[in-house]
Amino acid sequence: MKLTSLPKARILVLFVLWLALLGLLAMFAPAFFQPAVLRSILQFSTVLALVSLGQALVVLGGGAGIDLAVGAMVSLVAILSMLAVRAGLPGFLLPPAAILLGGLLGLGNGLLVTRLGLLPLIATLGTLFLYGGLALALTGGGPVPGVPAWLFPFGRGTLGLVPWHFLAFVLPVFVLVALILSQTAWGRWVRAMGFRENAARLAGIPVSRVRLLLYVTSGLLAGMAALVTLAWFGSARPNIGQNLELESLAAVLVGGVSILGGAGGVFGVLAAVLFIVSLKTAMQFSNIATTWQVGAIGLLLILVLLIDRRTVRWNA
Amino acid sequence: MTPFVQARGIGKSFGGLKALDGVDLDIHQGEVLALLGDNGAGKSTFVKILAGAQPQSRGEIRIEGRPVAFASPHDAARAGIATIYQELALSENLNVVENVFLGREVVRRVLGFPWLRRRAMRQRVDTLLRELDAHIPDPLARVGGMSGGQRQAVAIARALDQGGRLVIMDEPTAALAVAETRKVLKLVRQLAARNCAVILISHNIGDVFEVADRMAVFRRGRKIAERQRAATTPDEIVALITGAHPDARTADLAA
């Protein structure tokens, strides 16, 4: 099987699954088809899409790359930036502060992986607990209110059916990252080091520096996601990022990125995010309990990976 | 004419072990020099020093008459020494053009991003492959699906594009089928015809006699013999390698 065909094949698989889901809904829950539901899917997609993009970059860069701390970063950035506002940070500085803080937390992950040589799974499992625990400890578990009201339209408003944050954050960053991956030397370096690190090093690619930047980027995207939650909910919640690490990983894998690194594209990830959120929304709509939704994502992951194995065998 | 590389009295010790001792060797442009010897004879150590992968313990290397000290393979590459590694530093998920330029892409900086100049790179690769007479039908095909000989061609094109004036090849035909081996040997001659110097490490005496202009035999860390191809026979070279030749025995006694 050709390596690039993987993301394309995956987008096709997702499209078929999506049609199947729509078919089921048309039969059993036709009320699903209303504009408000579409708006809600996009509203819920932004946070997952942003952290999944960071996750995808880290996984693409190889070296057993994984960022289990994405959710914890979202929580801690939300808390820290709101604590900063309460301590006197001017409100207009909240957006850049949140994104910058995310970058710093991502830098922490990157340094653990590239400088100390920790396995990414272990390093980011550590910071998952560290960042997540800190978010809870700083607030005693309660929310931090006081988000400047001028941010609310960004978190809640829409242009037509599309939320502002989806337009302003998700679309530009996905297009930008897709362009970087396919049209710049940096994108080539990421694919080369993700697939065969040794060859990349021998070719003179600064593998460690690129990898560090991938973790920083994942942090920056988590910072953007945190900002969206602040603008949406009007307060910082210390557990807002819970489960994002696993959901983002599921989106990345379902979206066609190879867990071994080096292969995959970001639009497959976006398609997977939209599908996962649609599935969850559809289950919500059909009164299926939230607890089942988590299991459904697991099933989806296994199903898609099984389809992959079948296709690989057919083509081999 | 000054040889491209002059190595004088090169020695390398690992603790108390002398891996290389007093090696003098000249390498000329347009010439294929084969290094022969048993495993552990010192030829790989010598090549690693030339390629900047290890510093020598003693002796001096001069490039075009000027003494050099390589701190890294990068330094050696800048001096025009390109090494094609046994495990071929290629990325199988990338295509031919991407591999030839990996890490040194031709880019145009716009807004701080290094945008790829695909057409420029493609044209350069087409030219290189044509000059090498390499049979690669589609430069946009992934290297992962290519034969060992085609991969060698990609690696050679890469070395040439880096401005390699000395190309070091370590066992380039080791894992190849007969027809593939012929193609690679042809590529080696093409390199010499382009006035490149080529160092070839090989255990295959037949291959060596087909392409090399000159041979140097290593034994126990020393260079014990140097022969022009026309002035020697495979039997003599094998005897030198195994120690059956009188010259080899003399060298053994001196050591």
pLDDT in tens, A203-216: 888 999 999 999 99
**CB pair distance less than 8 Å for B89 and A198:** yes
With an 8 Å Cβ cutoff, the interface of chain B facing chain A consists of 73-74, 85, 87-94, 98, 102-105, 107, 113-116, 142, 144
Residues of B in contact with A184 (CB under 8 A): 107, 113-116
- With a pLDDT cut of 90, the percent of chain A lying above it is 61
CB contact at 8 A, B182 and B190: no
Element housing B26 (H / E):
strand B17-27
CATH class of B5-93+165-254: alpha beta
Of A186, A191, A205, the CB nearest to B93: A191
Residues of A in contact with B73 (CB under 8 A): 202
B250 Cβ contact partners less than 8 Å away, ≥ 6 residues apart: none
Q: Domains in chain A, ordered, with CATH?
A: 5-23+34-315 (1.10.3470)
- B217 HSE (CA, 13 A, CB side): 23
CB contact at 8 A, B50 and B76: yes
| Distance to chain A for B169, nearest Cα, Å | 15
Most confident of A1-5, A101-105, B61-65, B165-169: A101-105
**CB pair distance less than 8 Å for A188 and B87:** no
Task: Provide the 3-class DSSP secondary structure of residue B9.
Answer: strand
- With a pLDDT cut of 70, the percent of chain B lying above it is 98
- pLDDT value of residue A315: 41
What Rg do the C-alpha atoms of chain A give, in angstroms?
19
pLDDT for B242 beyond 50: yes
Residues of B in contact with A202 (CB under 8 A): 73, 85, 89
| Distance to chain A for B115, nearest Cα, Å | 4
| Short-list B44, B2, B30, CA closest to B188 | B30
pLDDT for A314 beyond 70: no
Q: Is the ipTM of this complex over 0.90?
A: no
Task: Place A127 in a pLDDT band, splitting at 50, 70 and 90.
Answer: very high
Q: How many CB atoms lie within 10 A of CB A154?
A: 18
Per the prediction, chain A carries an average pLDDT of: 89
Indicate which of A60, A177, A188, A257 best probes the interface with B, i.e. most B CBs within 10 Å of its own CB: A188
Q: What are the tokens at A90?
A: 């001017």
Task: Provide the 3-class DSSP secondary structure of residue A135.
Answer: helix
- pLDDT value of residue A313: 45
H-assigned helices in A140-196: 152-156, 164-165, 171-183, 185-195
| Distance to chain B for A59, nearest Cα, Å | 16
CB contact at 8 A, A128 and A72: yes
Task: Place B136 in a pLDDT band, splitting at 50, 70 and 90.
Answer: confident
CA closest to A5 among chain B residues: B93
Task: Provide the 3-class DSSP secondary structure of residue B101.
Answer: coil
| Short-list A41, A65, A2, CA closest to A260 | A65
CA dist., res. B131 & res. A238, Å (int):
64
**CB pair distance less than 8 Å for B93 and A262:** yes
CA dist., res. A285 & res. A25, Å (int):
10
Indicate which of B85, B94, B95 best probes the interface with A, i.e. most A CBs within 10 Å of its own CB: B94
- pLDDT value of residue A117: 92
pLDDT for A129 beyond 50: yes
- pLDDT value of residue B197: 93
CA dist., res. A185 & res. B100, Å (int):
13
**CB pair distance less than 8 Å for B89 and A263:** no
CB contact at 8 A, A242 and A71: yes
Indicate which of A202, A205, A210, A213 best probes the interface with B, i.e. most B CBs within 10 Å of its own CB: A202
In single-letter form, the type of residue at position B192 comes to: A
Averaged pLDDT, A153-159 = 90
Indicate which of A5, A182, A196, A258 best probes the interface with B, i.e. most B CBs within 10 Å of its own CB: A196
Domain segments of chain B as ranges: 5-93+165-254
CB contact at 8 A, B105 and A190: no
Of A3, A183, A196, the CB nearest to B116: A183
| Short-list A237, A234, A69, CA closest to A140 | A237
Task: Place B33 in a pLDDT band, splitting at 50, 70 and 90.
Answer: very high
Residues of A in contact with B142 (CB under 8 A): 2-3
Phi and psi torsions of A60, nearest 5°: -60, -35
Residues of B in contact with A205 (CB under 8 A): 102-103
pLDDT for A1 beyond 60: no
CA dist., res. A1 & res. A309, Å (int):
11
